[in-house]
Structure 1
Amino acid sequence: MANDPKKIRFAPNGAIYVAPASESLTVPADLGTANTAPSGYKALGYVDEGGVTLTPAIETQPVNAWQSATPILYIITSASFSVKATLQETNEITTELFWGAEWVEIMSNDTPPAGTGVFRLDLSSTPDLKEISLVVDWNQNSIRNRVVIPRAMISDRGAIQLSRTENGKFELTMEALDSAGKLGYVLTNDDIIKAA
């Protein structure tokens, strides 16, 4: 096969969408419409210029035999798929994902109680890990790609740097969970695949 610069791909545009993982959620089975959240999902907004890191991983263990100095095969000990991104927008969704809790409005002592416009987010000493469903879209011109992870959890959070000269950012790593024997799937309309 000859070298082909038309097959070099970038991801200049994209979006991350999340939804609570549930039995009633219909995960997308197609590429959908560009710049539109799949039904039931919400956009996480701007991601820093480093983009999104997708990491499929398989850990293996060698099986050795008396008759060979090299392994005779490998067995899979674990499989994972992670999505890492640093979110730049400060909004209800990104802050609840980052802090791992929900905002609740503080009510007044009036009768009946009224909202005060002040919200509180309690950081539990025994936090509840919530399942989410995740969709990552990216495109280069008309070539579109989508990763769908039906079930995921946030496995790591970076530190927030409060600065006079740089905006607040929410660094999250989200790990896929098993969903009927799959971690997720990738969709594309890229012409690198030969149609049947």
Structure 2
Amino acid sequence: MANNDASKIRFAPNGALYIAPAVGATLPTVVGDGKTPPVGYKSLGYLSDAGCVITPTVTADPVNAWQSAVPVLFNVSAATFTVAATFIETNINTTELFWGASWVAVTPEGGGTADTWRLDLSSTPDLQEISLVVDWGQGAALNRVVVPRSMIQDRGAITLVRNAAQEYQLTIDALDSDGVLGYVLTNQNMAPAAP
């Protein structure tokens, strides 16, 4: 009989995404409390109720041999680690990440008023590296994914309608960081079960 334990089934009713510049970021080494951003990281605010999608992918190519009708080996040709989320909070962190530029105050000399802000969209945008942290948990069970280096791989469209919040859809891909795409931290006991 299998060693089943329904108390180990997990959901993710709580979570958050945090970013920091990749260069100079102090990477977290503990799972945290599920509420506080890691030191040096900024919160991206509310996400849509679809939550966050984390996708590790390994692509392997078959190695075929004359003597066999099936592959005799697989060779890794690519590995990716992707985080996708739709943000619904319009704040400085989310909008600057989505647009890929920084807000600046428009001065009266520049034709603006004291409450006008401007974000210039470059025709040749710089791709910024970020460090990303994803926290999620259920009760006392806490988890954290840390991606030391990453970049925005895809941005969705913003739909402006009367009866739905603006959404900032982002897909973030991990970059190599000394042979590591990222790591997972948890406070759950992951020691092997006794035979």
Correspondence for 1:76: 76
Correspondence for 1:169: 167
How far the C-alpha of 1:3 sits from its partner, in A, is 3.1
How far the C-alpha of 1:191 sits from its partner, in A, is 2.7
Tell me, in whole angstroms, the C-alpha distance in 2 between the residues paired with 1:2 and 1:188. Answer: 21
Correspondence for 1:19: 20
Provide the secondary structure at the position in 1 that maps to 2:58. Answer: strand
TM-score (norm 1): 0.93
RMSD across aligned C-alpha pairs, in angstroms?
1.8
Tell me, in whole angstroms, the C-alpha distance in 1 between the residues paired with 2:192 and 2:47. Answer: 32
1:130 partnered with 2:128? yes
Q: List gaps (5 residues or longer) in structure 1.
A: none
Provide the secondary structure at the position in 1 that maps to 2:40. Answer: coil
Contact conserved, 1:87 with 1:94, CA < 8 A, in 2? yes
Matches within 5 A, 1:140-155: 140-155=138-153
- 1:97-154: CA deviations, max 9, x gaps? 11111111122229xx997321111111111100000000011111110000010000
Aligned residues between the structures? 192
Tell me, in whole angstroms, the C-alpha distance in 1 between the residues paired with 2:173 and 2:3. Answer: 37
- 1:136-181: CA deviations, max 9, x gaps? 0011111110000010000001111101001111110000000010
- 1:28-72: CA deviations, max 9, x gaps? 011122300000001111111111000000111111111111011
Match of 1:182 among 171, 180, 183: 180
Tell me, in whole angstroms, the C-alpha distance in 1 between the residues paired with 2:47 and 2:104. Answer: 26
Contact conserved, 2:33 with 2:142, CA < 8 A, in 1? no
Provide the secondary structure at the position in 2 that maps to 1:156. Answer: strand
Question: What amino acid is aligned across from residue 153 of structure 1 in structure 2?
Answer: M
TM-score (norm 2): 0.93
Matches within 5 A, 1:29-48: 29-48=29-48
Distance 1:42 1:93, change over 3 A: same
Write out the 4+ residue segments of structure 1 that deviate beyond 6 Å after TM superposition: none
Tell me, in whole angstroms, the C-alpha distance in 2 between the residues paired with 1:87 and 1:193. Answer: 35
Tell me, in whole angstroms, the C-alpha distance in 1 between the residues paired with 2:137 and 2:177. Answer: 26
Tell me, in whole angstroms, the C-alpha distance in 2 between the residues paired with 1:162 and 1:114. Answer: 25
Question: What amino acid is aligned across from residue 9 of structure 1 in structure 2?
Answer: R
Contact conserved, 1:84 with 1:172, CA < 8 A, in 2? yes
Correspondence for 1:9: 10
Correspondence for 1:60: 60
Q: State percent identity of aligned pairs.
A: 55
Distance 1:158 1:114, change over 3 A: closer
Provide the secondary structure at the position in 2 that maps to 1:97. Answer: helix
